[in-house]
Amino acid sequence: MKPKCSGPTYRGAVQAVILDWAGTAVDFGCMGPVAVFQEVFRQSGVEVSMGEARAPMGLMKKDHIRAICAMEPVAERWRSVHGTPPGDQDVDELYNRLQPLMVSALRRHCLPVPGLMDAVEAFRGQGLRIGSCTGYTGPMMEVLAAEAATHGYRPDSIVCATDVPAGRPYPWMCYLNAIRLQVYPLEAMVKIGDTVSDIQEGLNAGMWTIGVTRTGNELGLTEEEVGRLEPAELRSRLARIEERFRGAGAHFVAESIADCPPIIDEINRMIA
């Protein structure tokens, strides 16, 4: 399956990759945001499980909170504590409390995933520009980007959900990356991410998509926890994640960003 474009069929090479941040480029297991979402709800007297906190990952952070509030078990717990289901005012208050907590957490969860810098070097060798997009807000990304830069990761473009009319699964962050990187057509670009919403975003933008399984939110484990899993159990979990990504329309699935440069070569062969 190839992306469709409105003009003549594109026969050139891939020109750019657009990487998600947490779980794809940095923060193995996407650990930073989860604890913050749980803490914000806990401060309101409502417990949220790790699975509930992870489920909407990839969305803009306020949309993420809204999605958690819309989960019936969470709404019931909220109702038992506060007397009514969570409303728009509650979402606003949760979001306002989340922002400073998230900024603090990002400083502790900024390490590049293993193989990122080798992949970046390979992408550069393939002549690619490197963009990025995220559900984090601008102030959050100022912290994360600065910390990641100290470890050597500096993408050519950084677009936040707050820079565009709406975050994932809408394609606007991908479009703004294309503008800033001056890449056209969109099927000359590859979106790489670790959530279903990443894949939907890339597809909606008309880009090739790669889903990342082992380092991201879907598996949701630290590098050390992954290392302690029995190999058969790890393979089984990764296979289930791959099935979800394929079901969402991902063109390719890889365990980590380190596995993506050869996929770019394969995409180039398919385009040609």
As annotated, the active-site residues are 20, 61
Distance CA 119, CA 130 (A): 11
Q: d(Cα 158, Cα 21) in Å, to the nearest integer?
A: 10
Distance CA 87, CA 77 (A): 14
Using the structure block, give the residue that is written with the tokens 């809204």: 66
N residues, the chain: 272
CA distance linking residue 248 with residue 202, whole number of Å: 11
Cα separation, 96 vs 4, in Å, equals: 40
